[in-house]
Homo-oligomer: A and B are copies of this chain.
Amino acid sequence: MCRWMAWFGQPLLIEELLFKTQHGIVDQSLHSRLGAEPTNGDGFGLGWYGSGDGPAIYRSVAPAWADANLRELAAHVESPLFIAHVRAAIGSPVQQSNCHPFRRGRWLFVHNGYLGGLHAIRRELMLAIDPERFPDVEGSTDTEIVFHLALTFGLEDGPIEALERTVGLIESVAGAHGIPDPVQATFGVSDGATLWAVRYATKGPARSLFASADVDTLRRLHPDNERVQRLTDEDRVIVSEPFSDLPGVWQEIPEATAVTVSHGGVLEERPFRPQAVAEADLAGAHNG
Question: Is A158 engaged at the interface, CB distance under 8 Å to the other chain?
Answer: no
- Distance in angstroms between the alpha carbons of A243 and B127 in the assembled complex: 45
Question: Is A223 engaged at the interface, CB distance under 8 Å to the other chain?
Answer: no
Tell whether, in the assembled complex, residue A56 and residue B73 are in contact, meaning their CB atoms are under 8 Å apart.
Answer: yes
Question: Is A280 engaged at the interface, CB distance under 8 Å to the other chain?
Answer: no
Tell whether, in the assembled complex, residue B89 and residue A66 are in contact, meaning their CB atoms are under 8 Å apart.
Answer: yes
Q: Specify the chain B residue showing the minimal Cβ separation from A59.
A: B69
**Which of B58, B61, B66, B95 interacts with A73 by CB under 8 Å?**
B58
Which residues of chain B come closer than 8 Å to A50, judged between CB atoms? 76
**Which of B42, B59, B60, B69 interacts with A66 by CB under 8 Å?**
B42
Question: Is A275 engaged at the interface, CB distance under 8 Å to the other chain?
Answer: no
Tell whether, in the assembled complex, residue A61 and residue B58 are in contact, meaning their CB atoms are under 8 Å apart.
Answer: no
Instruction: Fill in one digit per residue for A128-144: 1 if any B CB lies within 8 Å of its CB, else 0.
Output: 00010011011110000
Which stretch from A117-125, A194-202, A260-268 is at the chain B interface? Answer: A117-125
Tell whether, in the assembled complex, residue B51 and residue A78 are in contact, meaning their CB atoms are under 8 Å apart.
Answer: yes
Question: Is A52 engaged at the interface, CB distance under 8 Å to the other chain?
Answer: yes
Known contacts A63-B63, A135-B122, A135-B123; A77 and B58 CB within 8 A of each other: no
Q: A42-B63, A56-B72, A122-B134 are in contact. List 4 more A-B contacts (CB 8 A).
A: A30-B39, A53-B75, A56-B73, A57-B72
Q: Which residues of A contact B (CB under 8 A)?
A: 13, 15, 30, 38-39, 41-42, 48, 50-53, 55-63, 65-66, 68-69, 72-73, 75-78, 89, 92-97, 118-119, 122-123, 126-127, 131, 134-135, 137-140
